[in-house]
Structure 1
Amino acid sequence: MLDERRCKADSRGAIAVSATDWSLQASAQNLATSLQLPFVTLDSHDYAFLLTCTPERLELRATGPDGTGPVYVFFDPGDWINRNRPGQGRQRDLAVAMGLRRSKLLPTILDATAGLGRDAYALALLGCKVTMMERSPIVAALLWDGLERALREPLIAPLVERNLIFVPGNAVSVMQTGGDDAVRPDVVYLDPMHPPRTKSALVRKEMRHLRVIVGDDMDSQDLLTAALGYARRRVVLKRPRRAEWLSPQHPSYIVSGRTVRYEVYLI
């Protein structure tokens, strides 16, 4: 079930749904029905990936020889404890790009390409209210599961409930419809799926696996254009550090890290 705006990338049957325990089969079958995916037994090798219901969480598992471990969403309670340590918090490149280092104001943020939710969670830990959008139904299922588990963690449940909102769907469509200033976010954050680096070993297994499932974002420029017309104060675009410009319109400034750069477009 691939979004038509992403390039199709597939091997074998791509993905099916399974469960590790008979007691989870009903839930897994319901999930398969909602995602319009086949339900198979756990020992099936007809599909490159299995979206697997386990007693602990929902996982994306690779069935081939490169099955290096499951992919799942985890909002680490330990990050709440460590949020103000040196190199964390408002000193992080992401926070600097959002304008948090020199301002006490906390912007409202639309994470238009939420993925596994890591950056949204990092910003929520700093007090920002973040609306996450994800158009891949498979990734959205993983994210829903992670949020539900986070809401059962006493240390972070209040923060997650207060600062994270998840809206499955295509952010481009939402941003293109506009809306009044009362509902538009201060910042739109974009982290589109981009082609792999030459040194593929540097790419995390999560990104390798997700790329097979959802493909690259082929409408990244449309995403940026829509964001520039929707954000009230700035757009932050995350890109590989040495990537080409996505748009003829260059950013207002750049926050560069070792492997990625944050392009900041001030409105």
Structure 2
Amino acid sequence: MKTPVSVLCPAPLREDLPDVLVNALNDVTAVPDWLDAEDTLPASLVLAVTRDGLELRDHRLKKPLTTRVDFVTGAKAHRRKFGGGKSQAIAKAVGVNKARGITVLDATAGMGGDAFVLATLGCSVRMCERSPTVRAMLADGLHRARMYSAEADAELFEILSRMELVAVDSLVHLQSDFSDVPQVVYLDPMFPARKKSAEVKKDMQLFHDLVGADADADGLLEPALALASHRVVVKRPKIAPFLAGQAPGYQLEGKAGRFDIYPLKAFAETAKTD
């Protein structure tokens, strides 16, 4: 069951919000008006608008947990600089070791981590995220990173230019008419968290509570296979069954998870990199 979310946005901040965030925040909550003070919040999860961007706050813990999407600093920035490049499993799964400029539809974008890695590797990535709250956080992270990088980091700005977020449900988008069919459809559906709380990071548990179970995740595979021109890649925990019970053409396994690859067409030999 999904945990309800309230939007906290003090009135002085509302006039400065860009339209992309206003539209994203309007999709998050059924509360008619955004709230001004935290002591009036009816929910335990709060999406707070601050001068530094959106942050999700979990007030169910003794020490509130706070998380945000950040492409400039932290783990995403570290992985961009030191992540291993084309030797990464995700790069091989998508086919970056075989072709340049691969187009990817990330139909389960989440906080944008994998999409950012793929864009760093030269892919053009369109992102879908069904949770309005997560989508708002992702839109905010992209907006802040673009504003910063336009002035201070040309390399990051170029990477972000290869990332596009669309405000539509993944299943609907997969079945849309495409003028530019993606070469790869990438799926990373939510898998139930393990029972022992010590085994689950608090921020990941928060994400599970926010998004809920992807009970209809199996329904993504068939339209993904119908849409992609070259392959479908499914990211799964090691213990997870095949999506929709359909065995992949082959797998790439890591320490904690695996990539199930459903090949449809080989990448052109002329597109190989050195």
Aligned counterparts of 1:36 and 1:15: Cα–Cα separation in 2:
6
How far off is 1:199 after superposition? Answer: 3.4
Aligned to 1:142: 137
Choose from 115, 119, 129 the match for 2:114: 119
The amino acid that maps onto 1:130 is V
Aligned to 1:70: 66
What SS class does the counterpart of residue 39 from structure 2 fall into? coil
Aligned counterparts of 2:205 and 2:62: Cα–Cα separation in 1:
10
Aligned counterparts of 2:92 and 2:26: Cα–Cα separation in 1:
42
Aligned counterparts of 2:140 and 2:171: Cα–Cα separation in 1:
24
Change (3 A) 1:66 1:222: farther
Contact residue 190 and residue 238 of structure 1 kept, 8 A? yes
Change (3 A) 1:178 1:200: farther
What SS class does the counterpart of residue 140 from structure 2 fall into? helix
Change (3 A) 1:99 1:17: same
Structure with the bigger percentage of helix: 2
Aligned counterparts of 1:190 and 1:66: Cα–Cα separation in 2:
35
Aligned to 1:18: 8
Aligned counterparts of 2:260 and 2:204: Cα–Cα separation in 1:
21
| Backbone CA RMSD of aligned residues | 2.5
With structure 2 as the length reference, what TM-score do the two structures score?
0.82
Change (3 A) 1:244 1:104: closer
Aligned counterparts of 1:45 and 1:35: Cα–Cα separation in 2:
14
Contact residue 69 and residue 140 of structure 2 kept, 8 A? yes
Aligned to 2:54: 58
**Identity, % of aligned pairs?**
35
Aligned to 1:133: 128
Q: Any stretches of 5+ residues in structure 1 without a counterpart?
A: 1-7
Aligned to 1:168: 167
> 1:200-223 CA deviation, whole Å, 9 max, x = no partner?
333333331222222111111111
1:211 to 2:185 alignment? no
Q: Any stretches of 5+ residues in structure 2 without a counterpart?
A: 265-274
Change (3 A) 1:241 1:55: same
Aligned counterparts of 1:169 and 1:245: Cα–Cα separation in 2:
25
Change (3 A) 1:60 1:77: closer
How far off is 1:81 after superposition? Answer: 7.8
Aligned counterparts of 2:119 and 2:181: Cα–Cα separation in 1:
18
Aligned to 2:232: 235
Aligned counterparts of 2:230 and 2:62: Cα–Cα separation in 1:
43
Of the structure 1 ranges 203-212 and 214-223, higher mean CA displacement relative to structure 2 is found in 203-212
How far off is 1:172 after superposition? Answer: 1.2
Runs of 4+ in 1 over 4 A off after TM superposition: 25-34, 77-85
Aligned counterparts of 1:54 and 1:106: Cα–Cα separation in 2:
36
**What number of residue pairs does the alignment pair up?**
251
Change (3 A) 1:249 1:160: same
What SS class does the counterpart of residue 229 from structure 1 fall into? helix
How far off is 1:198 after superposition? Answer: 3.2
The amino acid that maps onto 1:55 is R
The amino acid that maps onto 2:7 is V
> 1:237-258 CA deviation, whole Å, 9 max, x = no partner?
0111111222232001111111
The amino acid that maps onto 1:74 is D
What SS class does the counterpart of residue 65 from structure 2 fall into? coil
Aligned counterparts of 2:233 and 2:219: Cα–Cα separation in 1:
15
Choose from 192, 197, 209 the match for 2:194: 197
